[in-house]
Amino acid sequence: MLLTWKDPCVYCDEKCSVLGLEGITSGRWYWEVKIENELHSKWTLGVCRKDVRRKGNYLESPQRGFWVMGKVNKSYFALTNPQTWLSSMQDLFRVGVFLDYSEGDVSFYNMIDGSHIFSFPPASFSGALFPYLMIMYGAVSMTVCSMESGSEGLPVPLNNFPPLEETLSTPMEGFSSGCGVDGAPPEAESLLLP
């Protein structure tokens, strides 16, 4: 799945977000998000419950069903209560997201150097969780990459997403639309819920 905001000059109270199509209710999951963004941008990624509010100006926190980390301009953060500012680090271009549903673990990794970024305190999940991407402003592109095998020393996926990338289709100005995946298996379904 791919989410792209094209206009780096647009700032607004609206957020654009997408969810994975199928919910996660058990097991250990791992995927990576490729990120391309300019300096002045704001985005988050992680997991959320399906029933969360995602219209208008909403807040992301574990208390509201979001376990996410992100970037605003030059700074990285985890949306805890209160917000946790992450130590100064290199720009993130590929983030690994690890979810262990039964252990209540949501963790993030910098896949350029394999370092740990942040782990939320263990949570007690109820209901399905979905991969989540959000862009608020800036020229940003985020792509969820399916993982066939894990890297040595890092979380290993026990379940995999189908090998599919898709572009968000939306009538809102400033977003790309269309899709196309060469060689995707016929049984693969879209990973997006608008």
CATH number for the domain spanning 106: value is 2.60.120.920
Please give the Cα distance from 182 to 105 (Å, whole number).
34
Predicted local confidence at residue 89, as pLDDT = 74
Note whether residue 18 is domain-resident.
yes
- Range of the structural domain that residue 14 is part of: 2-145
Cα(126)–Cα(114) distance, integer angstroms: 30
For the chain, the domain total comes to: 1
Cα–Cα distance for residue pair 114/94, rounded to 1 Å: 10
- Report the range of poorest mean pLDDT among 5-19, 67-81, 99-113, 131-145: 5-19
121 lies in some domain: yes
Report the relative pairing of strands 129-137 and 115-119 from DSSP bridges: unpaired
The answer as to whether 184 is a domain residue is no
Alpha carbon distance 99, 101 (integer Å)? 6
153-191 per-position pLDDT tens digit: 333 344 443 333 333 322 223 222 222 222 222 232 333
Reply yes or no on whether the pLDDT at 76 is more than 60.
yes
Phi-psi region of 46 (alpha: psi -120 to 50; beta: other; left: phi over 0): left
| pLDDT of amino acid 145 | 82
Secondary structure element (H or E) that encloses residue 4, with its range? strand 2-5
Q: How many helices, marked H, and strands, marked E, lie in the chain?
A: 0, 12
Any domain includes 49? yes
Does residue 157 or residue 58 have the better pLDDT? 58
Q: Is residue 178 one of the residues assigned to a domain? A: no
In the three-class reduction of DSSP (H, G, I as helix; E, B as strand; rest coil), residue 160 is classed as coil
In DSSP notation, 117-149 reads EEEPPP----S-EEEEEEEEESSEEEEEE--SS
